[in-house]
Amino acid sequence: DTGVSQDPRHKITKRGQNVTFRCDPISEHNRLYWYRQTLGQGPEFLTYFQNEAQLEKSRLLSDRFSAERPKGSFSTLEIQRTEQGDSAMYLCASSYDTEAFFGQGTRLTVV
Amino acid sequence: TQLLEQSPQFLSIQEGENLTVYCNSSSVFSSLQWYRQEPGEGPVLLVTVVTGGEVKKLKRLTFQFGDARKDSSLHITAAQTGDTGLYLCAGAKAAGNKLTFGGGTRVLVKP
């Protein structure tokens, strides 16, 4: 399977804990995006990379959130000191040009 | 306020009926993509439209991009129960840029 891969699929964490998610994009896709989706809503943009450079960050991305793509391949999204409001589906997508392909997402539940 | 407005938010029809989902904006987009998403999964790309006035057909699905590249529609002919899902439109201001999503249209096709 050469699609976008996200790990883990599900994460339950206690409020205040740190969590890290991983995304492996489609090979040779130079752009990688993170989105967040809450129930009943469309995905909201968080941040995106072109190769290893983080080119844009949404105002939704508070200072508790950090994303990296150190070698221009896989990416990680870390949330520090999680809050209940962080509970959502975190989606990763990659693209080479116009079309973006999504992974299956990581469902985060903060209890 | 969403940059892309989808209507209706929810649609329930009988198998065999036709349906149309609309995606409207006051902004011009370089491209517009339609996705279908099932519960607990990531969005799956259905089609990308890039030219004003463009019409694309994918079996029973017909996608249209408005002449001014501000709006789009998705028409499903003779809906099947397998068409049930959340349909999302998403626009990009330039190739490779982040996607701005509509709020989604939840379609339920009853047998």
Residues of A in contact with B5 (CB under 8 A): none
Which residue did the predictor score with more confidence, A1 or A94?
A94
Which residue has better confidence, B55 or A72?
A: B55
Share of chain A above pLDDT 70, in %: 99
Could you give the CA distance from residue A3 to residue A19 in angstroms, rounded to a whole number?
A: 23
Confidence of residue A34 (pLDDT cuts 50, 70, 90): very high
Considering CB atoms only, which of B31, B43, B102 is closest to A98? B31
Residues in chain B where the model's pLDDT stays below 70: 1-2
Residue A27 sits at the chain B interface (C-beta within 8 Å): no
Cβ(A1)–Cβ(A70) under 8 Å?
no
Chain B residues touching A98 at Cβ < 8 A = 30-31, 48, 50, 92, 95-96
* Inter-chain residue contact A100 with B99, CB threshold 8 Å: yes
Nearest to B85 by CA among B76, B94, B72, B97: B76
Average pLDDT over residues A19-38: 96
Cα–Cα distance, A5 to A20 (Å, whole number): 15
pLDDT of residue A28: 87
Give me the pLDDT at residue B2, please.
Answer: 56
Asked if the model's pLDDT at residue A2 lies above 90, the reply is no
What pLDDT, on a 0 to 100 scale, did the predictor assign at position A1? 55
Nearest to A97 among B41, B44, B96 (CB): B96
3-state DSSP assignment of residue B43: coil
